[in-house]
Amino acid sequence: LQDLFNLLQGKFDEENTGHRGKVAAVGLSYFYRSPVIGAGFRKLAKMPEIGLGCHNTFLRVFGEAGIFAGMIFLSSIAFTTITAWRCRWPEVKCLVIGFLAMYSCACMVSHMLLTNRMANVLIGVCFGFLSAAYTLRKRQAKERHIAELSELRQSVSPPASQQHAPIPQLAGQSS
């Protein structure tokens, strides 16, 4: 509890942060050595220089897989957040954005959240809710369009009372 109080006061030192600054510096050095293709799978799981993993999923993805994979990872979170922000159902919007905020925070302090089954299930649930909201919105738009077309047809065609009777055929004419 004292460490949390010290962090809230802005005291970021090795004692309060559990050496996370040093761990992050070593993890970044792996990224700087090979920024394009990364250092390789599981290289940041336990770094021999300090005997610890990097404790940051974002840093681990960038460090192990390089800038392209890291940008895909960040882009997927950003795209899902933007999609949720545009969602018209506030319940879905709050659920997905709230989960993504918690997920992003957890990525900053965990070794590798990508392998956490529960987190992956919740991401799938978020995708399912967004997909359902999108599908429902398209269905409602289609139903509105059909209703508008039906109203337009009714306004264009004259009522049955104003329609003309068929022209009678003269005797001897065949139809």
Please write the tens of the pLDDT for every residue from 69-92: 999 999 999 999 999 999 988 999
Instruction: Say if residue 168's pLDDT is above 90.
Output: no
Residue type, 127: F
> Rg for the chain (alpha carbons), in Å?
30
How far, in Å, CA of 54 to CA of 75, rounded?
21
The 10s digit of each residue's pLDDT in 87-128 is: 988 999 999 999 999 999 999 888 888 889 999 999 999 999
**pTM attached to this predicted model:** 0.71
Instruction: Say if residue 57's pLDDT is above 60.
Output: yes
Tell me the C-alpha to C-alpha distance, in Å, between residue 8 and each of 1, 11, 69. 11, 7, 33
Residue type, 2: Q
Quickly count: other Cβ atoms within 10 Å of residue 24's Cβ.
Answer: 16
Q: Tell me the sheet residues that pair with 52.
A: 47
Higher-confidence residue: 17 or 27? Answer: 27
Tell me the C-alpha to C-alpha distance, in Å, between residue 149 and each of 14, 92, 138, 159. 68, 31, 16, 17
Max mean pLDDT range (2-6, 50-54, 129-133): 129-133
